[in-house]
Amino acid sequence: MTSITPHTPALTSRLPNVGTTIFTVMSALAAETGAVNLGQGFPDFDCDPALVDAVTQAMRAGHNQYPPMPGVPALRQAVAAKMQALYGLACDPNSEITVTAGATQAILTAVLAVVHPGDEVIVLEPCYDSYVPNIELAGGVAVRVPLTPGSFRPDFDAIAAALSPRTRALMINSPHNPSGMVWSAADMQRLQDLLAPTDVLLISDEVYEHMVFDGQQHQSAARFPGLAARAFIVSSFGKTYHVTGWKVGTVVAPAPLTAEFRKVHQFNVFTVNTPMQHALAAYMADPAPYLELPAFYQRKRDLFRQGLASTRLRLLPGEGTYFQCVDISALAVPERDLPEAAFCQWLTREIGVAAIPLSAFYGNGFDQKVIRFCFAKKDDTLREALQRLARL
């Protein structure tokens, strides 16, 4: 018998610059130290029991096999009704709405559907950490344009300068993770005007659409005909209904874009969890849960901001999402002189609260002495965190 020495072939990585994410690192450190974890963005409270009951009912009703590839028709119809009611967009549930395995899969699928090797895609930094790897997996080139430091508002002169004949798409996110900034109607109108003479596609990440505060409206790309005609509009049931682990989202796009989107979708996930789709369709019959979400999270935001006001952490505006950013530069030395990432390590170990450095959302690690907390937590969790942060 010939002796065989086991050998694992070496690989050339498709994503050589990707390692363990900051969210994994900080969550592990929080668990190790017993810190209150305000780093990773998910609730520590339960969803509406009626939604869980609806899943059970769907299972007992026999909805346990593959659904149609684009999603359960009733759910796509419910999404179409919501888009019409909230944003005035009439879309065909059969040809313009696709149910996805969460928003992250939706964004990757949109990128793979339209970006060819060498195409440029503009991303506005700081940005969610999947955007650039998605572009690289498609063979595209990420063109990073910074949002205005401090306010995190879009810099349209910089965006215009970044547009080129090779630009295939632009990715935007409002309400914005990590800063909590919300694009205004004037911002969206200016973007519409800027893109009008181009063939640039828009990938609009709107997963926090129902978390906009102080009486503002969410300015979906769906509200602006010139944007809606070129956009993949991404939403998340997980964010809206406090079920991030379900990983169910949607993409709304014009029929020609949806056709290309579904070509990729059918070969990377094919379809999405059947009973949860039926449950979400039934639950959406009552719009109250998402219409009341701004007030629900604004109360948590205000509780958290009120507590932080007594510390030396400087509050940045919190217009939307369930994130609150703070400037650490007014703290005493040596802590204020630590880089953001090192400060978050110190904060977790010494104060007992985990946060995320904003530098993690920039390709070059830009450090502006700003960190991000998540306030999608029980009131008792927030009060415990505030009690610890009061030492600052």
Q: What is the DSSP code (8-state) at residue 93?
A: T
CA distance 99 to 79: 10
State pTM to two decimals. 0.96
3-class state of residue 109 by DSSP: helix
Q: Where are the domains of the chain?
A: 22-41+291-389, 49-285
pLDDT digits (tens, 9 = 90+) for 369-390: 999 999 999 999 999 999 999 9
CA distance 67 to 74: 11
Mean pLDDT, rounded, for 238-245: 97
Mean pLDDT, rounded, for 163-174: 98
Q: Which two tokens stand for residue 267?
A: 């070969």
Ranked by mean pLDDT, which of 22-26, 37-41, 98-102 comes out on top?
98-102
Pick from 37-41, 77-81, 136-140: least confident: 37-41
Pick from 8-17, 67-76, 190-199, 258-267: least confident: 8-17
Q: Other C-beta atoms within 10 Å of 42: how many?
A: 17
pLDDT at 1: 63
In this structure, which topology does domain 49-285 adopt according to CATH? Aspartate Aminotransferase; domain 2 (3.40.640)
Q: Do 93 and 80 touch, CB atoms closer than 8 A?
A: yes
Mean pLDDT, rounded, for 155-161: 98
Nearest alpha carbon to residue 202 among 254, 239, 152, 240: 254
Mean pLDDT, rounded, for 233-252: 98
Q: Do 235 and 76 touch, CB atoms closer than 8 A?
A: no
Q: What is the DSSP code (8-state) at residue 320?
A: B
Cα angle 303, 381, 337; round to 5 = 80
Mean pLDDT, rounded, for 219-225: 98
- For the cut 70, the answer to whether the pLDDT of residue 119 exceeds it is yes
Predicted confidence band of residue 356 (pLDDT cuts 50, 70, 90): very high
Classify domain 22-41+291-389 at the CATH superfamily level: Aspartate Aminotransferase, domain 1 (3.90.1150.10)
